[in-house]
Amino acid sequence: MRLVLGDQLSPRIAALRYVDKAQDVILLAEVDAEATYIRHHKKKIAFVFAAMRAFAARLRADGFQVRYVKLDDPLNSGSLRGEISRALLDETFDEVIATEPGEHRLVADMEGWEAAFGMPVEIREDSRFLCTHAAFRSWAQGRTQLRMEFFYRKMREATGLLMDDREPVGGRWNFDAENRKPAKPDLFMPRPPRFDPDAETKVVLQLVSDRFSHHFGDLEPFWFGVTHEHAEVALQHFLREALPSFGDYQDAMLEGEPFLYHSVISMYLNVGLLDARDICQRAEQEYRHGRAPLNAVEGFVRQILGWREYVRGIYWLRGPDYLKSNALGATRDLPWFYWSAETNMSCMRAALQQTKTEAYAHHIQRLMVTGNFALLAGIDPHQVHEWYLAVYADAYEWVEAPNTIGMSQFADGGLLASKPYAASGAYINRMSDHCKGCAFDVKAKAGPTACPFNYLYWDFLARNRAKLSDNPRIAPMYRTLDRMSDERREEIAHDAATFLETP
């Protein structure tokens, strides 16, 4: 029996290696346990189920034997274990072959499968990634700091991507200094392609509407692609239309423009509808053929070859306890407006509202708006982690948890980020047009109309002095804080407490 999970929809997935069309049965199962252990966004559940169905149809068309269990099958046991057991009762198998899952919870469950099923269970390493577990461990071994930039250079050398012989193309590893422009509303914004739901996807939409109406987010309009062909259209569209400006506007935010020049491919890539190496090679070709500048292509390749592989390495290296990290001792509950999007802060409202409608926010919204706010407000990192895992269509624990717990909340004490991604309203004002229409005044430092990011920023530094003031990258901010009068520091603490205590 070959088991394929909902985020493993690639014909080259390890579990399908050397699959025998005559003898082997491929099992795919939509199970309640996976859809509800976190209350995933409705669009995310619909996307995964619809893509699973499309993948199963493709496998059948290619002559494979597929056992597909729909969520509303009356015999559906509701769990992966239950569905494998049921298949073993119905048919004769002598081995179960699976690909490693993307989270510790399922790894722990799989460890008990051999005993439960009374037969060999082979769990194969997921070969969709460019860095193996062993290669990451060997890179990390003996290092006191695990900085992404050095890992990324190693990956460039190992893969030959954006390399001229042994040198990085253009003579530098990183062209970030040329990126980071704020966007202007009159720029041409290439919107990601939208796909009309086919008949089977419409059935899934009805199912999700019936069964998961209490989950977060808007189910419709549903425009995600659900096949490899759709994902390919989305990728090609990005490479031609948006990649050339990707670097310039990577950190920009604009009211009413959820996607800007981002690729919006993470949900396809993370379930196997696209391949990471192929994407990087094709982005490189855009540069080699003179269709996209190096700052854009290097910036984009770094996200996939660097950040994506690096956070995965950290997730598996640190083990399940990483999820409990709380280096700053943050304990506040996640505010309700993360779910309702009802807030007077324009930047937060834009990010939260589009999260609700699209199950998507781009990196800077996740890191410097919703993540930054949670960090400054001292929200329990585990609650923040569960929120990010639930609300985004691309969220799987191996990629979401290090980004949230490490990069965004600094809860791992600086393993992943060399300093907390904490910023006042000035940063958001520089990179976006949100402040113009906001109920708060980004220039005001104190009082009820001042931008909350301003006093929360200083309050965060004051609260965490013992843990952060030795960090050389933020020491200058502590010197500024120390130059403030006692009255000013009291005012900051008062404004922060008043804002955070107000329901």
The residue ranges that bind ligand FAD (CB under 6 A) are: 262-266, 269-270, 300, 303-304, 307-308, 311, 362-363, 366-367, 371, 388, 392, 394-395, 399-400, 403-404, 407-408
Dump the DSSP string for 146-186. Answer: --HHHHHHHHHHHH-TTEETTEEGGG-S--GGG--PPP-TT
Instruction: Choose among ligand SF4, ligand FAD, none what residue 280 binds, the Cβ cut-off being 5 to 8 Å by kind.
Output: none
- Provide the CA 143 distance to its chain's centre, in angstroms: 26
Specify whether the CB–CB gap between 442 and 429 falls below 8 A: yes
Which residues neighbour 292 within 8 Å (Cβ) at sequence distance 6 or greater?
Answer: 239, 243, 244, 246, 283, 286
- Based on the shown chain and the rule CB under 6 A, indicate whether residue 429 belongs to the binding site for ligand SF4: yes
**Which listed option, ligand FAD, ligand SF4, none, makes contact with residue 406 (CB within 5 to 8 Å by class)?**
none
Residue 110 binds: one of ligand SF4, ligand FAD, none (C-beta under 5 to 8 A by kind)? none
Asked if 480 and 433 touch (Cβ cutoff 8 Å), the reply is: no
Q: How far is the CB of 300 from ligand FAD (least distance, A)?
A: 6
Site residues for ligand SF4, 111-130, by CB under 6 A, read none
| Residue 254, strand partner residues | 257
Q: Smallest gap, in angstroms, from Cβ of residue 274 to ligand FAD? A: 9
CB of 306 to ligand FAD, least distance (A): 8
12-17 LR contacts (CB < 8 Å, sep 24+): 12/127, 12/128, 12/275, 13/99, 13/126, 13/127, 13/128, 13/272, 14/99, 14/100, 14/124, 14/125, 14/126, 14/127, 15/97, 15/98, 15/99, 15/124, 17/124
d(CA 368, CA 364): 5
400 makes contact, choosing from ligand SF4, ligand FAD, none, with CB < 5 to 8 Å by partner type, with ligand FAD
Other Cβ atoms less than 10 A from the Cβ of 374: the count is: 24
| Cβ nearer to ligand SF4, comparing 317 with 444 | 444
Residues 272 and 226: beta-carbon distance below 8 Å: no
Nearer to ligand FAD, 366 or 382 (CB): 366
Applying CB under 6 A, which part among 45-53, 140-148, 375-383, 438-446 lies near ligand SF4? 438-446
Q: Is 347 in the site for ligand SF4 (CB under 6 A)?
A: yes
Closest CA to 340 of 218, 209, 498: 218
CB of 57 to ligand FAD, least distance (A): 26
**Residue 308 binds which of ligand FAD, ligand SF4, none (CB < 5-8 A, kind-dependent):** ligand FAD
Q: Does residue 319 contact residue 104 with C-beta atoms inside 8 Å?
A: yes
Instruction: Report if residue 346 touches ligand SF4, rule: CB under 6 A.
Output: yes
C-beta of 453: minimal distance to ligand SF4 in Å?
A: 5
DSSP-assigned beta bridge partners for residue 164: 167
Between CA 50 and CA 55 the distance in angstroms is: 9
**Shortest CB 323 distance to ligand FAD, Å:** 14
> Applying CB under 6 A, which part among 44-52, 341-349, 411-419, 489-497 lies near ligand SF4?
341-349
Q: Could you count the other beta carbons within 10 Å of the beta carbon of residue 479?
A: 10
What does 434 bind: ligand SF4, ligand FAD, none (CB cut-off 5 to 8 Å by kind)?
ligand SF4
Q: How many other CB atoms are there within 10 angstroms of residue 443's CB atom? A: 11
Binding partner selected for residue 424 from ligand FAD, ligand SF4, none, CB under the kind-specific 5 to 8 Å limit: none
Using rule CB under 6 A, residue 423 touches ligand SF4? no
Task: Return the residue of 379, 428, 456, 474 that touches ligand SF4, per CB under 6 A.
Answer: 428
Q: With left for phi above 0 and alpha for psi between -120 and 50, is residue 476 left, alpha or beta? A: alpha
Q: Looking at 391, 438, 456, 477, which residue binds ligand SF4 (CB under 6 A)? A: 438
> How many chain residues are in contact with ligand SF4, going by CB under 6 A?
14
* Collapsed DSSP state (helix, strand, coil) of residue 215: coil
Where along the sequence are the contacts to ligand SF4 (CB under 6 A)? 345-347, 425, 428-429, 434-435, 438, 440, 442, 451-453
